[in-house]
Structure 1
Amino acid sequence: MAKLALLIGVSEYQEGLSTLPAAAQDIRAVEKVLNNSEMGGFDHIKVCHNPDLQEMQLEIETLFIGRQKDDLVLLYFSGHGIKDENNNLYFATRNTCKNQSGELRRATAVPARFVHDIMNDSRAKRQAIILDCCFSGAFDPSLKAKDDGSFNLKKQLGAEGRVVLASSSSTQYSYEQKEENLSVYTRYLVEGIETGKGDSDGDGRVSILDLHKYATQKVQERLPKVTPKIIVLKDTGFEIVLSQVEASKRVKQDISCTHIPKLEGIQLEKTRQKASTYAVIPSLIQSLTPFVERLVEHLNSYHLARQQDTSPVDKKDFKNSVLELLRLASDADFIFSMYSPHGESSWTLNAQSKLESSCDPTAYSDFLTSQVLAAVSTEAIFTTGHHGIYRFFLDERTGITKAFILIPIVSSDDTEFIAVCGLSQESQWLNDVFARVVSSFYVVSQDTDWNPSKVEALILDDLKRAYGFLPIGFYNRRFELFCERLAEIVIYFEPILDLRQVTIKGWEALARDPCTLNAPIDLFQAAELWGRKFTVELDVGLLRRAAKSYRQASAEAQQNRSHEITPLSVNVYPESLMRTVYFETVREITTPDDYGYTLLPADNLVLEISEKAELPKYQDGMRVRSPLKAFRDRLVRYTQELEVKFGIDDFGVGYASVARLASLNPPHVKIDRDILHQQQAEVIIRFVREIVAQSSKLYSAKIIVEGLDEQSPISLQRLKQLGVAYAQGYSIGRAAPQIYRLTEERREALRKMIV
């Protein structure tokens, strides 16, 4: 097994490309650490300084061809990275030049495709590329940018078993610091190997992944807007080891890892009984908080003004207003959107904000047409892997450089993008989080019936789905919006019919939006997206409301005596059942107060456990060894202390299983409505019935089929023949805020459907 490297540095260029003095120092510094027997330990290193086209191609081919399967081959390049008009990447040589139009003369540069093909032909299965060159963007006055362009690096250089380290993303510049000898990215690559700091896991080796993590952290400490990238296919390049850590440095690390005595057996509090002195680790999205807050503030003001205006809403004016709100919140000069109907090549203005008052409309329009839009391709805007592109332009009138961002609208029926024009060069909005907020706001605001709370909630939900952890302020605000939405919900009751006696044997409590009378899907989706706190709040709130509404409905129906109250089924997530607050809520509802009044007797409450959610893996902050056993033990406490019953909801979907069903031993099993529309529906129903009949634990469990309506392929008569005892759905009775007894006429009609 051999370790071979080719280090290419191009510092001198033809007219039209700036010199890069650091490139020469870069390759010498990399050579030093790779050549050291206690660090890189490479067997052969070729240094190639300022090659022409033929020399660079020949050296690259020589590096990869004729290698053995177990060889490690490294290609390092420091210099200009340039793209052509088709977004293809090229590596500049000392004789690379541009034509009179400023476009690359492709015959004078090495195409990335050439490197890709040569590497594909190599037998070596461990291949690494390190590129200290840039692919797009503008530059800070204190930094010299290496070039511009935007392309799909993974597509042009990626392959299984190959790893690519890039000093910046496909929409950013890479930099060399004027006052320093080395390029910024290369400096930290060398430092990570030379000092041993790149060995993040302390195993004495510096892998590609170790080095990437170290260099990325150090680069972003100095240049927060630059994001070095690591590209692998099928995770087969992460483990490539570039160097060892010198023995002297390993000794120091070993000493620092010495175990400190008397730290075993420490007891930590399970819950926060008082305010914690620890602060939450800040989110990288924190910088967007002012923008979101300003956007919501402008949104509320606009909504208030619209409520006071009784005139009809013009759709085009409304779209323009949406973009104006974004402009005000972002301090942009102008924002507009364009679309291409049905994927046509021509683009049409869809909506536009107002223009900042100091800008001349005619001059600005000419500038957008001749420079901003003329310098971009649709492929660059709509390429997957990033959420928008940007570029800096110098305003010759004012001498100020400003940013222009183009953001794709992915959910639009037509191909559409938004242009945010004239942001400050120092703006903190130049990131994909800003782009995602803009696109989310634009999409959800297309419905003229929206309200500010709904729009704000949907924006936060989109950020949560995209980034996972969000700033604590966003989390708390989303919880406030969630609770406000939960407070609007009303409870309707759907009857559960006994197919044998043709009587109502119980009711299921269903949450309903008071305006649409549909299920509040947004609430359930938000609870599942944001986690435990939301889920528990949802279940506690709906349980309280269901119990109060049911008691009131029973009184109005004159079924308020204890023997007249039929069981009420309330849905609950498994996670909530493990929480003390839910347990105490059930106790409060089912326990008589000082006057002997019980909101809902325990023997009339059935908690239906959703099979669409997995069983909790944690209890009181501690991971449980067996989630099923811990959950079963929790249910035993409910049944023994509170005497409530349990049912299985949605059996046949999600996390439902025979073992889980038998282990929980519920008094009734509800087959999900989706099963009815499957080809093997009857087979599944018979299968569940046989499980119940053959299991001693489930022998007395009742089977309920839900979701019966006019389109159901299985009739009530057929369900009874299959051994199903209970059913519910539109065919039996629609959910309503009242409960009732069946009239003789309705009972007779149902009997005819069953017999």
Structure 2
Amino acid sequence: MTEERHALIARAEDTGPPALRHAGVSFAALENPLERFGPLIERLARVTRPDAAHLRAALSAEAVAILERTPSGFTTIDATPGFDSEPSRDLLGARDCLDRLWTGHHAWDARRSLLSVPLHREPGKVVLLAVRNPASGMGEPLARILQTLWRTRGEPHDDIEIQVLTDLRRDFRLPVRLYERYRRLQRAAIESLSIVFQPIVSLGKIAGHVGVHSFEALARRAPLDAGAPVGLLNAAHVWGDDLVVERDEIIVAKALSAYASAHRSGPWDIPKPVSVNVSVRSLLSDAYLGSLREALASTGLRQVTLEISEQDPIRPRRDEIWDAEPHAYFHERLQHLARETGVAFAVDDFGSDYASVSRMAELPLTQIKVDRRVLHHPTALAELRFVEEIARHRRDRAARTVVVEGVDDLSPITLKQIYAVPIRHVQGYLAQQGAPSLHELKADVREDIAARVRGDAEQRATGLPALRRSA
């Protein structure tokens, strides 16, 4: 392995999750065994039916069985010819096998060896995969692979491979070849995503005051999908900062290009503002800044807001030294980005994870988006008033827009209550779900929203009953 490739994996390890960095597993000891899993992972990801025969073929095993374990004993769900379930019961029932339900167990006697992999567990029952005479050194990594395969069965094979590699990455130091394989898979998967736009709606008591304030760009597997590909988008955080930044570079370029194209076919002469999600690490990256500049220049868009992900803490990496307190350092970085590109910033999903009061109060934000879960808190209205008051009394008077996310037919807080806070903007399936094209709100939708703001029908839910819950 060249020094450059060593450096690549070393950087990935340094920015990976603490569980990986402190796993205490020797890279040299695992590199060769895990290198062998590359072709195996690719074969398993393409198993369209995870039954015993397909798994035996993918594993090149002598025999395979899928068994159900209950307090009364074992039941064979599926098995290939030659699997001697009766003689294998002693190995399957070994006490240490039962004690290690989720790491896999390799047991043997004078005649045979058996790898037991728990695939699924529920009260009083465990589904196991038993592999007769597997290759040596395959126990724990193979257990991770097979558990993920079982969990993701039915998904596209590239998605399965991404999840398999990511689950291995959480627990093992992977060879560079598998790191590079994941990088290629992630790039292709992100580039294949569709971008849809969900409106942020301005509220009013008359229909003429209700309308589209702006749009948020959302990544979807397909335009009609209700939810985001969360597993794919979150997997990058397991692999280190470089993969997170690359993901965000692709998404911002796709989102702004798609928005510019949709605007050309839309009803407005001047583009409505658009927002795109971004991680803290990407905002600290000069590579991301370069990609953002290119996307802005090629599309000509001016009113762009970057929504800072709630997943990321604002703090230096282990190999970094910041010359100021974290929020002050990040504040300066955002101001630099605003001067360089003209973009604005929002805090996304306020009320969850790291989206704290200090983040809202200390960063140069123009928008605060309240997480949908806040609507279901017992103190929801008090929390909304608190956010609105902080936004209204900021010294720099920048963060004037508070947006309540996830407003739909399941929201326990009415539009009349939200309007009385006073908050004037909401987002969700209240008006329409995301779409690749841009549209004004229909007249009947605007009339209905205005009626709800006035409280004309207090017994009705906040959102429109015909629409599904916001993603």
Provide TM-score, normalisation by structure 1. 0.53
Give 1:576's aligned amino acid. Answer: S
Q: CA offset at residue 295 of structure 1?
A: 2.0
2:54 matched residue in structure 1: 322
The yes-or-no answer on 1:683 pairing with 2:382 is: yes
| 1:665 pairs with one of 364, 368, 372 | 364
Structure 1 contact 381–407 (Cα < 8 Å) conserved: no
* Residue number in structure 2 paired with 1:575: 281
Contact 1:574 1:616 in 2 (8 A): no
How far off is 1:297 after superposition? 4.9
Determine the C-alpha separation between the residues in 2 that align with 1:280 and 1:538: 18
Cα separation, partners in 2 of 1:698 and 1:656, compared to 1, 3 Å:
farther
- Check whether the contact 1:404–1:423 (CA below 8 A) recurs between aligned residues: yes
Matched, 1:292 2:24: no
Match of 1:450 among 155, 160, 164: 155
1 CA distance for matches of 2:449 and 2:377?
24
Residue in structure 1 matched with residue 240 of structure 2 by the alignment:
531
1:459 maps onto 2:459 in alignment = no
Partner SS state of residue 460, structure 1: helix
Q: Deviations over 1:84-130 (max 9, x none)?
A: xxxxxxxxxxxxxxxxxxxxxxxxxxxxxxxxxxxxxxxxxxxxxxx
- Give the secondary-structure state (helix, strand or coil) at the position aligned to 2:369: strand
Which structure's CA Rg is the greater one? Answer: 1
Aligned residues with identical type, % of pairs: 25
Counterpart CA distance in 2 for 1:558 and 1:388 is: 58
Q: Secondary structure at the match of 1:723?
A: coil
Is the partner of 1:695 in helix, strand or coil?
A: coil
The CA distance in 2 between the partners of 1:669 and 1:497, in whole Å, is: 14
> Displacement, 1:740?
1.5
Structure 1 residues 456, 632: CA separation in 2 closer, same or farther (over 3 Å shift)? Answer: same
Aligned partner letter, 2:250: G
Does the Cα contact within 8 Å between 2:38 and 2:178 map onto a contact in 1?
no
Offset of residue 731 of structure 1: 1.0
Picking from 126, 139, 153, the partner of 1:415 is 126
CA RMSD for the aligned pairs?
2.7
| Residue 386 of structure 1: how far off its partner (Å) | 7.1
Q: Work out whether residues 163 and 235 of structure 2, in 8 Å CA contact, stay in contact via their aligned partners in 1.
A: no
Residue 275 (structure 1) shift? 4.6
* TM-superposition CA deviations, 1:510-561 (whole Å, max 9, x none): 11111761311122221222231221122111111111111111111143x4
1:391/1:735 CA distance change after superposition, 3 Å: closer
Task: Confirm or deny that 1:484 pairs with 2:188.
Answer: yes
TM-score (normalizing by structure 2): 0.83
Q: Which residue of 2 aligns with 1:338?
A: 67
Deviation at 1:294?
3.3
Question: Deviations 1:114-163 (Å, cap 9, x if unpaired)?
Answer: xxxxxxxxxxxxxxxxxxxxxxxxxxxxxxxxxxxxxxxxxxxxxxxxxx
AA matched with 1:462: D
What residue number does 2:469 align with?
none
Asked whether the 8 Å contact 2:213–2:273 carries over to 1, the reply is: yes
Tell me the SS of whatever aligns to 1:669.
strand
1:599 aligns with 2:299: yes
> Who is 2:428 aligned against?
729
CA shift, 1:698, in A, is: 4.3
Residue 434, structure 1, aligned to residue 167, structure 2: no
Partner of 2:13: none
- What is residue 110 of structure 2 aligned with on the other side? 394
Counterpart of 1:726, as a letter, is: H
Cα deviations by residue, 1:21-51 (Å, 9 ceiling, x for unpaired): xxxxxxxxxxxxxxxxxxxxxxxxxxxxxxx
1:640–1:423 distance in 2 versus 1, CA, 3 Å: closer
- Say whether the 8 Å CA contact 1:382–1:388 is kept in structure 2: no
For the residue of structure 2 that corresponds to 1:575, the secondary structure is helix
Counterpart secondary structure, 1:707: coil
1:494–1:733 contact (8 Å) kept in structure 2: yes
**C-alpha deviation, 1:376, in angstroms:** 5.2
Question: How far apart, CA to CA, are the structure 1 residues paired with 2:291 and 2:155?
Answer: 34
Q: Number of paired residues?
A: 429
Question: Retained in 2: the 8 A contact 1:323–1:351?
Answer: no
Distance 2:442 2:223 in 1: 29
SS in 2 for 1:704: strand
Q: Match of 2:438, SS?
A: coil
Could you tell me how far 1:299 is from its partner in structure 2? 4.2
Q: Secondary structure at the match of 1:538?
A: helix
| One-letter identity of the residue aligned with 1:519 | A
Q: Which AA in structure 2 matches 1:352?
A: A
Instruction: Say which SS state the counterpart of residue 213 (structure 2) adopts.
Output: strand
Query: What secondary structure is seen at the aligned counterpart in 2 of 1:374?
Result: helix
Is 1:612–2:328 an aligned residue pair?
no
Contact 2:66 2:130 in 1 (8 A): yes
- The SS at the match of 2:299 is coil
Determine the structure 1 residue equivalent to 2:113.
Answer: 403
1:436, distance to aligned residue in structure 2 (A) = 2.7
Q: Which residue in the other structure is 1:383 paired with?
A: 99
- Given the alignment, which residue of 410, 420, 425 partners 1:711? 410
Is the Cα–Cα contact under 8 Å of residues 324 and 352 in structure 1 kept in the other structure? Answer: no
- The code of the aligned residue for 1:565 comes to P
- Unaligned regions of 5+ residues in structure 2, if any? 11-26, 455-471
Indicate yes or no: 2:96 matched with 1:369: no
Tell me if structure 2 keeps the 8 A contact 1:285–1:433. Answer: no
CA deviations on 1:277-310 (whole Å, 9 max, x unpaired) are: 869674543233354233245447766xxxxxxx
C-alpha distance in 1 between matches for 2:122 and 2:130? 15
CA separation of 1:728 and 1:434: change in aligned 2, threshold 3 A: closer
Distance 1:280 1:537 in 2: 16
- How far apart are 1:624 and its partner, in Å? 1.9
Distance 1:631 1:325, change over 3 A: farther
For residue 334 of structure 1, report the CA deviation from its aligned partner.
1.7
1:495 aligns with 2:172: no
Local SS of the residue matching 2:390: helix
Amino acid at match of 2:259: Y
After superposition, the C-alpha distances for 1:355-407 in whole angstroms (9 at most, x for unaligned) are 4xxxxxxxx73xx534x323553643221487233333334xxxxxx532233
How far off is 1:616 after superposition?
A: 4.2
Partner of 1:46: none
| 1:491 maps to amino acid | I
**3-state SS in 1 of match to 2:405:** strand
2:147 & 2:347 partners in 1: Cα distance? 40
Contact 1:509 1:546 in 2 (8 A): yes
Greater per-residue helix proportion: 2
Asked whether the equivalents of residues 611 and 650 of structure 1 are also in contact (C-alpha less than 8 Å), the reply is yes
Q: Secondary structure at the match of 1:482?
A: helix
Report deviation, 1:569.
Answer: 0.9
1:624 alignment counterpart: 322
Q: Which amino acid aligns with 2:116?
A: L
**Offset of 1:345 from its aligned partner?**
0.9
Out of 274-283 and 717-726, give the one that drifted further.
Answer: 274-283
What residue identity is the alignment partner of 2:251? L
In the TM superposition, residue 643 of structure 1 has moved relative to its aligned partner by 1.6
Counterpart in 1 of 2:215? 507
Displacement of 1:326: 4.2
Deviation at 1:488, TM superposition (A): 1.7
1:741 aligns to what? 440
The residue type paired with residue 707 of structure 1 is: G
What is the identity, as a one-letter code, of the residue corresponding to 1:403? S
Report deviation, 1:707: 0.7
Determine the structure 2 residue equivalent to 1:473: 177
The higher-RCO structure (CA 8 Å, 6+ apart) is: 2
Give the SS at the match of 2:161. Answer: helix
Q: Aligned pair 1:565/2:297, yes or no?
A: no
CA contact (8 A) 2:91 2:114 kept: no
For the 8 Å contact 1:392–1:404, the answer to whether it is kept is yes
Letter in 1 for 2:194: V
Give, in angstroms, the shift of residue 460 of structure 1: 1.2
The reply on whether 1:349 has 2:76 as its aligned counterpart is: yes
Shift of 1:573: 0.8
